[in-house]
Structure 1
Amino acid sequence: MKTFVNDSREPGSQVTSGSQRVLVVEDEPDIAALIGYQLTRAGFRVETTLNGVEALRAVGRDIPDLIVLDRMLPGISGDEVLGRLKDDPETEGVPVLVLTAKKEQEERIAGLELGADDYLTKPFSPRELVLRVQAILRRTPESGGGSAGLRVFRVGPIHMDVSAMQVSVLDEDVSLTPTEFRLLRALLECRERTLSRRQLLEKAWDVEADVSDRLETRTVDMHVQRLRAKLGTAGDSIQTVRGFGYRLKKDLE
């Protein structure tokens, strides 16, 4: 059953109120209108597109603060759109909330493996969607919040400025996605101890507690592998604790 919203705006229009901009990519006009209506009420500027081609064009015109992306799109799939965004240095840091109609955990986790920051299963509560968007943006330092909670980490060759969302290794800037940034931050904050994969999921992805151990392993390990590669020579500082999780070397200089 579709949900209809009494709203005169057509998908593709941009709402001018609010400060943070959200791009909604959803091929069902009624759902797109519902999402846009709820996000606008929450104070966001919203633009909606009905397919992947339009979405990529919209991002090319103006990079949003966050994207709500349906995985099942006509033509270019949501997965392909997500992949292109994460492969582009200019957009790899844009947070993405993935929508999926499939309830299986394999499907729900697949978006995270592709680089999404969170997922939501259809049918969903509009209020929950708004709350998840707000939570993702709160976890993204450059989305707002000023200088409050400023923290700077210097561990060996790794330097992280949380407020500026900047990471460097040996004074060379490193470009990380929001998820990779939160993953590294968790390891830096807890550098005196080992973090389990479930703890890293909770800190970096904020996923539900019922995610299976196998999916935990696959998702976290894949992102740690990408993080190590981006850190270059400092990537070896992330140690694997077999059968449990990860930690930073204690003797980093």
Structure 2
Amino acid sequence: MSKKRILVVDDEPDFVMLVKKYLEKAGFQVEMAFNGVEALEKVHANPPDGMVLDVMMPEKDGYEVCAELKGDEKYADIPIVLLTAVADHVSSTRYSHFDGISMKADDYLPKPASAEDICESVKSLVD
């Protein structure tokens, strides 16, 4: 059986590498993208089985990417774990827990989420 492919999207390369290492150890094949535009290009070229998507990124943020994918029936079924460094108690920004849920993300983890937590979330959504 082929491994499930997960696209990890974050503008912090060190974080992407850490998550990649954990997901590979858990048996996933991992692709990487470092901004929302690159993520969408990769999804359109070869849709992954799941995504780990940072919210705050240059060019196109995670909310925009999530909204675009969930709004397109061709990609709406791809499970998305949204990650954000913004605290729940900051309600004055557009980056809040509520927004993550309203974006129809399949899971939502505050940063700093551990690579283990991210891995568990991906496993529960993709397996």
Q: Is the TM-score greater than 0.5? A: yes
Q: CA deviation at 1:126?
A: 1.2
CA offsets per residue over residues 120-166 of structure 1, 9 Å max, x none?
1111221111111111124xxxxxxxxxxxxxxxxxxxxxxxxxxxx
Structure 2 residue aligned with 1:31, among 15, 21, 38?
A: 15
Q: Identity over aligned residues, as a percent? A: 40
Structure 2 equivalent of residue 121 of structure 1 = 110
CA offsets per residue over residues 47-72 of structure 1, 9 Å max, x none?
01000111011001111110100000
Helix, strand or coil for the counterpart of 1:22?
strand
AA matched with 2:124: A
Structure 2 equivalent of residue 44 of structure 1 = 28
Q: Distance in 1 between matches of 2:69 and 2:8?
A: 14
Q: Which moved more, 1:63-72 or 1:119-128?
A: 119-128
Q: Distance in 2 between matches of 1:87 and 1:126?
A: 28
Helix, strand or coil for the counterpart of 1:88?
coil
Structure 2 unaligned spans of 5+: none
Structure 1's consecutive aligned runs of 4 or more residues displaced over 6 angstroms after TM superposition are none
Relative contact order, higher structure (CA 8 A, sep 6+): 2
Q: Distance in 2 between matches of 1:97 and 1:124?
A: 11
**Matched residues, number:** 121
Q: Distance in 2 between matches of 1:43 and 1:127?
A: 13
AA matched with 1:87: G
TM norm structure 2: 0.90
Structure 2 residue aligned with 1:72, among 45, 53, 56?
A: 56
Q: Distance in 2 between matches of 1:39 and 1:61?
A: 22
Q: Distance in 1 between matches of 2:12 and 2:77?
A: 27
Q: Distance in 2 between matches of 1:131 and 1:109?
A: 22
Q: Distance in 1 between matches of 2:26 and 2:72?
A: 29
Q: Distance in 1 between matches of 2:113 and 2:104?
A: 21
AA matched with 2:123: Q
TM norm structure 1: 0.46
CA offsets per residue over residues 87-134 of structure 1, 9 Å max, x none?
111001111000000121551231111110111111122111111111
CA offsets per residue over residues 227-247 of structure 1, 9 Å max, x none?
xxxxxxxxxxxxxxxxxxxxx
Structure 2 equivalent of residue 95 of structure 1 = 79
Structure 1 equivalent of residue 97 of structure 2 = 108
Which structure's CA Rg is the greater one? 1
